[in-house]
Amino acid sequence: MDTQCPFCSVQCKMIVEERSTDGSPAYTVTPKPNKASEGRLCIKGMNAYQHALSGERILFPMAKVDGDFVRVSWEEAHRLIESKFAAIRRNYGNDAIGVYGGGSLTNESAYLLGKFARVALRTRYIDYNGRFCMSAAASAGNKAFGLDRGLTNPLSDIALARCIILAGTNIAECQPTLMPYFTQAKENGAFIIAIDPRRTGTTELADLHLNVKPGMDAALANGLLKVIVEQGYTDQAFIDGRTKGFKQLKEHLASMDLDHIADITGVPAGRIRQAAEAFGKASAGMVFTARGVEQQTDGYLAVRNFLNLALVTGKIGREGCGYGAITGQGNGQGGREHGQKADQLPGYRSIENEADRAYIAGVWGIDAGNLPGKGVSAYEMMEKVHGEEIRALFVMGSNPVVSNPNADFVEAGLRKLDFLVVADMFLSETARMADLILPTTSYLENEGTLTNLEGRVLLREAGRQAPGEAKHDWQILSEIAAWLGKASFFPYTAAEQVFEELRIASRGGIADYYGITYERLRREEGVYWPCPAPAHPGERRMFEQSFAHPDGKAELIAVNHHFPKEQVSEYYPLHLTTGRVLTHYLTGVQTRRSHTLAARQFESYLEIHPATAKKHRIEDAALIRLESRRGSIVVRSKLTSDIREDTVFVPMHWGGIQNVNKVTNEALDPTCKMPGFKVCAVQVKPLLEYD
């Protein structure tokens, strides 16, 4: 089977071979050379076949009857959906049904989910898990550059950079097959700066590690900018010719005090100066951000400030220069372009723009007046579920009860729903709560396109038959739409047909896929967007001549730092930050079902500094109760001096009593509605107090 990893945004290609030796099947996984991973695979990709082939796959539709799941036929499932949706729409209106998608879905399914919500259900309420992932970087890119594509430059530019800033990104564990690009840069003499409250495999690579206080990146970037501007490390010709807003930024920076910045960020002024000098003086340089900077209630502004750094130094749009928001999920990039977002239509069009609405209505063959308006963000949808404004929820490709902040509140809301439908491969924590589960196909079975972190569209071939009665997501959506009387709008019999429509729907939009075809993807091993015509090569490096705003200029902005919404107190004296480990993926539904991966890390843990642990009478490997104003969990302690003394860390890959989102804060960034997953105030206590 010629395939592609179902996990992170690198989208490494591989070959999975099934052999039957002595009657029982054996599997060999071989990395396949391709442009992004260059023939590498990490441990998750190597072992992904284990979950796909697991005996825990859901094979039939299942409906909940008296608290238990019973097998039903697809026809019974469709009848149930039809009657429940009809009753809810009759009693409460179209907007009482919500749709919740995910960044693991192929472009075809993500596109169709958006069309399903707007055309088949005619609801305004659709959003997806990428809200928790890419929204801060996406809104910052859109505002600063006029366009959001994860990396503005191809990965091959990394080796040419002379200085690299890695802010809140743990590439070593989260995109491991990208590490050689950075080690290569380092071998070529690049100076690497990592910004992270913890020491990680990624900060180990760095020449300078700034272990910032959680949530203080915007302030730290102000410090870097101040030194760069005052020392004259700026590129004045670039600023004058290609940006606007420098005057206000310069005045703003002049009013700041570096010692104060050092004080509030926890990074000594000398180290801020050293970093600014290294980046400012470098002839070429790159800035990368990921969720450490972005999953904050000021995530949008924090990213804008890192974009300021690239812009004032003229380090974008040329070789060895650029910005990268390291995309998370396999299709985190494509998944945010084609309409599963509350305010978005395919091709990165806006649902609030009349011309965009008219264009898409034309492609879909509906009246633009029947296209619903803008909905709300993912967590705000959960608030509407809790408030019983949304009465039915259709989830495809997410496990929201584990991945939303303030998870106890979210769970209580989901329990109030009249009807919860979940399309998944497994009985996830959310699927367990469903009234109806629809079995879907895995990466080995489902053909489709995914867009990797570089903005390169890749075709994932499918080599295996769907197990049991599982169906592809695009098929599930088309069949339900037909039951709802909309068959003529969903006539697809192959993923490629959906892609052919997506090409037209995206044509002329920001994320233009019109020039891309399956045939071309097979031949060229992927094509970058924008690609407006079949003869267009696709754009590898963006912004070489101009930015995507109508005047061609990038926008600088003066950023005031904000302190995290929740401050530590006597009762909650520590910052909690959350994130990932190498062997597990997101809420762990898939990786916990792979025996090789599960064995490496079979439970969650709390990373805590030995000095802090001592203060709280916590020993190593002891069970700890971690508590915030919202909820509490139980995890095992892991004493390590890799973390700041004022901060603890818990990974996000477990549900139930180890679900760290029972503890996290639901406060949202006002611009992009990203929750502040990366900082809240907590207390820690040994589970068994012996005093």
Ligand X SMILES: Nc1nc2c(c(=O)[nH]1)N[C@H]1C(S)=C(S)[C@@H](COP(=O)(O)OP(=O)(O)OC[C@H]3O[C@@H](n4cnc5c(=O)[nH]c(N)nc54)[C@H](O)[C@@H]3O)O[C@H]1N2
Choose between 424 and 435: whose C-beta lies nearer to ligand X.
424
Q: Give the one residue of 3, 50, 169, 177 binding ligand SF4; rule: CB under 6 A.
A: 177
* Cβ 577 to ligand X shortest distance, Å: 4
Choose between 230 and 408: whose C-beta lies nearer to ligand X.
408
Q: Which does 677 bind (CB under 5 to 8 A by kind): ligand SF4, ligand X, Mo ion, none?
A: ligand X
Within residues 158-217, the interface with ligand X by CB under 6 A covers 167-170, 173-175, 195-198, 200, 212, 214-215, 217
Burial class of residue 259 (count of CB atoms within 10 Å of its CB; 0-12, 13-18, 19+): exposed
Q: 519: which residues sit within 8 A by CB, 6+ positions away? A: none
Stretch that binds Mo ion, among 127-135, 309-317, 387-395, 649-657 (CB under 5 A): 127-135
DSSP string covering 630-655, please? S-EEEEEEEE-TTB-TTEEEEES---
CB 526 within 8 A of CB 458: yes
Q: 98: which residues sit within 8 A by CB, 6+ positions away? A: 123, 125, 126, 381, 384, 385, 390, 392, 393, 394
Closest CA to 225 of 199, 180, 200, 255: 255
Q: Is 36 in the site for ligand X (CB under 6 A)?
A: no
Cβ-closest position to ligand SF4: 45
Q: Look at residue 108 and give its three-state secondary structure.
A: helix
Choose between 114 and 330: whose C-beta lies nearer to ligand SF4.
330
Q: Give the one residue of 1, 16, 29, 42 binding ligand SF4; rule: CB under 6 A.
A: 42
Q: Which does 339 bind (CB under 5 to 8 A by kind): Mo ion, ligand X, ligand SF4, none?
A: none
- What is d(CA 318, CA 656) in angstroms, rounded to the nearest whole number? 48
Q: Look at residue 675 and give its three-state secondary structure.
A: strand
Percentages helix, strand, coil for the chain (3-state, rounded to 5) are 35, 20, 45
Cα separations in angstroms, 1 against 129, 543, 635: 29, 38, 39
Q: Characterise 121 by phi-psi region: left (phi > 0), alpha (psi -120 to 50), beta (else).
A: alpha
Q: Is 587 in the site for ligand X (CB under 6 A)?
A: yes
Burial class of residue 498 (count of CB atoms within 10 Å of its CB; 0-12, 13-18, 19+): buried
* Cβ 407 to ligand X shortest distance, Å: 9
Q: Which does 406 bind (CB under 5 to 8 A by kind): ligand SF4, Mo ion, ligand X, none?
A: none
Element of type H or E holding 135: helix 135-145
Cβ-closest position to Mo ion: 328
DSSP string covering 300-350, please? HHHHHHHHHHHHHTT-SSSTT-EEEE---BTTTTGGGTSS-STTEETTTEE
Half-sphere exposure (Cβ direction) of 87: Cα atoms closer than 13 Å: 9
Q: Is 51 in the site for ligand SF4 (CB under 6 A)?
A: no
Count of residues engaged in binding Mo ion, rule: CB under 5 A: 2
Cα separations in angstroms, 683 against 393, 627, 672, 679: 34, 5, 29, 13
Q: Is 453 in the site for ligand SF4 (CB under 6 A)?
A: no
Q: Which does 578 bind (CB under 5 to 8 A by kind): ligand SF4, ligand X, Mo ion, none?
A: ligand X
Q: Is 328 in the site for Mo ion (CB under 5 A)?
A: yes
β-partners of residue 682 are 574
Helices (H), 579-640: 595-600, 610-615
* Cβ 294 to ligand X shortest distance, Å: 7
Q: Is 133 in the site for Mo ion (CB under 5 A)?
A: yes
CB 36 within 8 A of CB 527: no
Count of residues engaged in binding ligand X, rule: CB under 6 A: 63
Q: Which does 104 bind (CB under 5 to 8 A by kind): Mo ion, ligand X, ligand SF4, none?
A: ligand X
Binding mask 77-116 for Mo ion (x = CB under 5 A): ----------------------------------------
Q: Which does 659 bind (CB under 5 to 8 A by kind): ligand X, ligand SF4, Mo ion, none?
A: none
CB 669 within 8 A of CB 296: yes
* Cβ 135 to Mo ion shortest distance, Å: 10
Q: Is 580 in the site for ligand X (CB under 6 A)?
A: yes
- What is d(CA 279, CA 286) in angstroms, rounded to the nearest whole number? 9
* Cβ 11 to Mo ion shortest distance, Å: 14
Choose between 193 and 505: whose C-beta lies nearer to ligand X.
193
Q: Give the one residue of 1, 29, 45, 89 binding ligand SF4; rule: CB under 6 A.
A: 45
Within residues 4-43, the interface with Mo ion by CB under 5 A covers none
Q: Is 433 in the site for ligand X (CB under 6 A)?
A: no
Closest CA to 77 of 88, 95, 65, 67: 65
- What is d(CA 170, CA 174) in angstroms, rounded to the nearest whole number? 6
CB 334 within 8 A of CB 449: yes
Residue for token pair 């003394």: 645
Residue for token pair 């650029």: 322
Choose between 6 and 375: whose C-beta lies nearer to ligand SF4.
6
Choose between 114 and 448: whose C-beta lies nearer to ligand SF4.
448
Binding mask 267-306 for ligand X (x = CB under 6 A): -----------------------xxxx-x-----------
Q: Is 175 in the site for ligand SF4 (CB under 6 A)?
A: yes
Choose between 280 and 332: whose C-beta lies nearer to ligand SF4.
332
Q: Is 426 in the site for ligand X (CB under 6 A)?
A: yes
Can you give the binding site for ligand SF4, defined by CB under 6 A? Answer: 5, 7-8, 10-12, 37, 41-42, 44-45, 175-177
Can you give the binding site for ligand X, defined by CB under 6 A? Answer: 8, 102-105, 129, 132-133, 167-170, 173-175, 195-198, 200, 212, 214-215, 217, 290-293, 295, 328-329, 396-400, 402-403, 423-426, 428, 440, 473, 577-580, 582, 584-587, 589-590, 652, 660-661, 664, 677-679
Can you give the binding site for Mo ion, defined by CB under 5 A? Answer: 133, 328
